[in-house]
Amino acid sequence: MKFLAAKHLGSLRPVDAAGEEILHRLGNGQLVEIEIRRPRNIRFHRLYFALVTLVWEQLDETRYPTPEDLHEAIKIAAGLRRRIVLPDGTIGFIPGSIAFHKMDDTEFSAFFDRVCNLVAKHFLPGVTDTELKAEVEIMIGATVEAEQRRRETTAEGVP
């Protein structure tokens, strides 16, 4: 059973009727296991793909023929990967997933920061991670700082 809840004072409360119904079915004192995951904001996800596109447009396309190829390389370089050993002993990596069900907002925010640092250091030297964030914000009409402040405020229980 899954439902969205919001922190109110010292407790979690369902945010909709479906969540209320699930909670109502639980008996008083019944133990439940709770996993805290903050849903990811689609705008933040779009920032990442705007960044990938921006970087890909600046690079020689022979190394990364498509933005998807660059996306996979960035995930591996940013540490979102699984290590494999091929039959000949060669070590390789398989990129991980940034799907919404694989990474919540907190995890994706940390990943995005790692990617911006990686891009500034290795792909676009001379450009800072702050400049990259500002540019992709303009591209999609959003602001990273505003989204981060919103998440921090919501995490502290202030609507």
User: Which two three-digit tokens encode residue 120?
Assistant: 């500034």
Q: Which of 68, 69, 95 is nearest to 80 (CA)?
A: 95
CB 86 within 8 A of CB 94: no
Question: CA 67: distance to chain centroid?
Answer: 18
3-class state of residue 78 by DSSP: coil
What's the pLDDT at 148?
Answer: 61
Is residue 84 a contact partner of residue 93, using CB atoms and an 8 Å limit? yes
Lowest mean pLDDT among 7-21, 35-49, 108-122: 35-49
Tens-place pLDDT, residues 27-83: 899 998 888 777 778 888 899 999 999 999 999 878 999 999 999 999 999 999 999
The rounded percent of the chain whose pLDDT value lies above 90 is 48
pLDDT at 15 over 80: yes
Give the residue carrying structure tokens 């998440």: 151
Q: By the 8 A CB rule, do 91 and 84 touch?
A: yes
pLDDT for the residue 105: 87
Q: Is pLDDT at 134 greater than 70 in this prediction?
A: yes
Type of residue at 42:
I
Looking at the predicted structure, is the pLDDT value of residue 146 above 60? Answer: no
Selection from 40, 17, 150, 25 nearest residue 97 by Cα: 40
pTM: 0.68
CA distance 143 to 77: 25
**pLDDT level of residue 139 (50, 70, 90 thresholds):** confident
User: What average pLDDT does this structure show over 94-105?
Assistant: 91
Q: What is the pLDDT of residue 145?
A: 58
Instruction: Categorize the per-residue pLDDT at 152 as very low, low, confident or very high, splitting at 50, 70 and 90.
Output: low
Q: Answer yes or no: is pLDDT of 159 > 80.
A: no
